[in-house]
Amino acid sequence: MRKQIDQILSKFDDLTEQLTDEAVLSDRKRYQAVAKERAELEKQVQIATELKDVYRTLDEDRSVIEANEDPEIVELAQGEISELEAACDRLESDLKLLLVPKDPSDHRNTIIEIRAGTGGEEANLFVADLMRMYTRFAESRGWKIEILSSHATGIGGLKEIIFLLQGNDAYGTLKYEKGVHRVQRVPVTESSGRIHTSAVSVAVLPEAEEVDVDINPKDLRIDVFRSSGPGGQSVNTTDSAVRITHIPTGLVVTCQDEKSQHKNKDKALKVLRARLLEKAEKEHEEKVSHERKTQIGSGDRSAKIRTYNFPQQRVTDHRIGLTQHRLAEILDGDLNDIVAALQHADLMEKIQK
């Protein structure tokens, strides 16, 4: 840990010096990058400095004990050592948490795709419930919400919806939501009062910029057609809906929400870039390590991650064994406790590796 402390402090001093360099000052992008990196180190530097002082005092007290035969002085030094060792353990633990490498995509905006699974119309209605939950959560964070694609059903449900959340650490905050969300409740269409179990899948993708994913126009097949609403009826008199197929991977994205073909194409390309980035990152992870990431970190979208039980007003996250009896508040967007618990569990697993 002492070596890491010296590295942190040395790097911070180097970045501080760079901010006074004429070459950096004259390059706005470089200056902002250096300033950002330095700011991200400040908390580490604060703890590292405290820890360095504790180490120094511990060394001094231990030297006093070795060189002194006076029992009173030795007793005083030993008492101080006990307090310093407790502080040392706490500071080392805090610093280890800060030194865990961050996912480079955490700072990105995020694209969320919610799709109905088993359960028919009840699953469609739960897609709409989850969309509202994430929308309310995003609003509480001050994030911007943009619908990219949706497929509505007849009684207020959604077969599928894809939307973009723009805000600080949007992907890093919600990446643990990917997976299968299960709902247990009495459907509005159920006359006998039986509880049904339905499922919805959630995919969470980091938004990709054009520079992140190189798409060759020759690799795209773009089809246009008329938009359709619930029941399949045409809602447009022009061919404004767009379907983009990425030929090398077979990925297909459809967008028909806008009346403008150009806007639908732009939105479809956003989703396609995000899916291609996710695919590339997964392939890279598999090459780097033979072991899959933990379920908390990777959020396998085929795994059942959470159950929403309406009769008991209970929400259970199966990955970390967290149960809360406040379903109404959670569906109203209060995800803070769940998000914090998942982030902490993921952090602990990374530290133990």
Domain locations in the chain? Answer: 2-99, 110-323
Across residues 269-279, what is the average pLDDT? Answer: 88
Instruction: Among 3.30.70.1660, 3.20.20.100, 3.90.380.10, 3.30.360.10, name the CATH number for the domain at 110-323.
Output: 3.30.70.1660
Rounded distance, CA 295 to CA 346, Å? Answer: 9
Across residues 33-54, what is the average pLDDT? Answer: 91
pTM value is 0.70
For 279, 289, 347, the CA distances from 293, given in Å and listed in that order, are 15, 9, 13
How open is the CA angle 157-162-163, to the nearest 5 degrees? 110
For position 228, what pLDDT does the model report? 67
Across residues 60-89, what is the average pLDDT? Answer: 86
For position 179, what pLDDT does the model report? 93
102-157 pLDDT, tens digit each: 788 888 899 999 999 988 889 999 999 999 999 999 999 999 999 998 888 878 89
Which residues touch 165 (CB under 8 Å, ≥6 apart)? 109, 110, 111, 112, 134, 138, 143, 144, 145, 174
Residue 304 has pLDDT above 80, yes or no: yes
For position 46, what pLDDT does the model report? 94
Residue 221 has pLDDT above 80, yes or no: yes
